[in-house]
């Protein structure tokens, strides 16, 4: 009787490699990491990056409370793919944010915001934009610090967002549509 040898990279014996990978980054990695197209990437934003996120959070905050939303950078799962994101900012209904130890899905968000860094700008501009649309995130605000511009994507579909507003140079307000109906001041980004 022979035993089959399982070599490195052979995951055929793992019942669900996608779940195993996502479980590992949540429980074993020891730091905040996300998976982008199967690549495990640490999330370690700079103070300048966090300042931009905070400026957005402060502007949206009053309207967010009126709408019964919570903001944060909780995990977003993209089931059926090797993607597990930690957005810079996501706004979700209170009922989904409270007592939810797991990840949410992009279509459960009301707004997702990504702020680029030199190490991830292309990922935020292309991969995440495409994936957020495929998984139904209704609004995706890309704050591109390298290009010094903001772009709002809406009307998601399987092939991407069908509505694009921008890029707007920093200093030009970006209008968030329903349910927000407010302008985001980008002059301090």
Look at 23-27, 119-123, 131-135, 158-162 and tell me which has the smallest mean pLDDT.
23-27
Where do we find the tokens 């967002």? 161
pTM above 0.85, yes or no: yes
Q: Is 121 helix (H, G, I), strand (E, B) or coil?
A: helix
* 70 pLDDT more than 60: yes
Q: Give the whole-angstrom CA distance, residue 77 versus residue 85.
A: 6
**Regarding beta strands 111-115 and 139-144, do their DSSP bridges make them parallel or antiparallel, or are they unpaired?**
parallel
Q: 70: alpha, beta or left, given left = phi > 0 and alpha = psi -120 to 50?
A: beta
* 8 pLDDT more than 60: no
* Mean pLDDT over each residue of the chain, to the nearest integer: 89
Look at 21-30, 40-49, 76-85, 86-95 and tell me which has the smallest mean pLDDT.
21-30
pLDDT band at 21; cut points 50, 70, 90 = confident
* 96 pLDDT more than 80: yes
Greatest Cα pair distance, the chain, in angstroms, is 72
Mean pLDDT of the region 21-47: 78
Mean pLDDT of the region 110-139: 96
Determine the pLDDT at residue 27: 66
Structural domains in the chain, CATH included, are 45-184 (3.90.1570.10)
Q: Is 91 helix (H, G, I), strand (E, B) or coil?
A: strand
User: How many C-beta atoms surround the C-beta of residue 43 within 10 A?
Assistant: 15
């Amino acid at each position: 009787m022979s035993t089959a040898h399982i070599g490195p990279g052979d995951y055929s014996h793992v019942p669900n490699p996608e779940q195993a990978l996502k479980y590992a980054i949540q429980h074993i990695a020891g730091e905040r990491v996300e998976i982008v197209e199967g690549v495990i990437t640490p999330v370690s934003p700079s103070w300048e990056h966090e300042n931009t996120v905070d400026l957005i959070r402060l502007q949206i905050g009053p309207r967010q409370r009126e709408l019964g939303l919570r903001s944060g950078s909780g995990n977003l799962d993209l089931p059926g793919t090797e993607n597990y994101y930690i957005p810079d900012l996501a706004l979700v209904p209170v009922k989904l944010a409270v007592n939810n130890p797991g990840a949410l899905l992009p279509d459960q968000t009301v707004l997702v915001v990504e702020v680029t860094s030199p190490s991830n700008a292309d990922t935020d501009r292309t991969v995440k934009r495409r994936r957020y649309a495929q998984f139904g995130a209704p609004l995706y605000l890309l704050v591109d610090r390298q290009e010094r511009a903001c772009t709002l994507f809406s009307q998601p579909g399987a092939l991407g967002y069908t509505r694009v507003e921008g890029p707007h140079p920093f200093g030009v307000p970006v209008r968030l549509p329903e349910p927000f109906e407010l302008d985001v001041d980008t002059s301090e980004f």
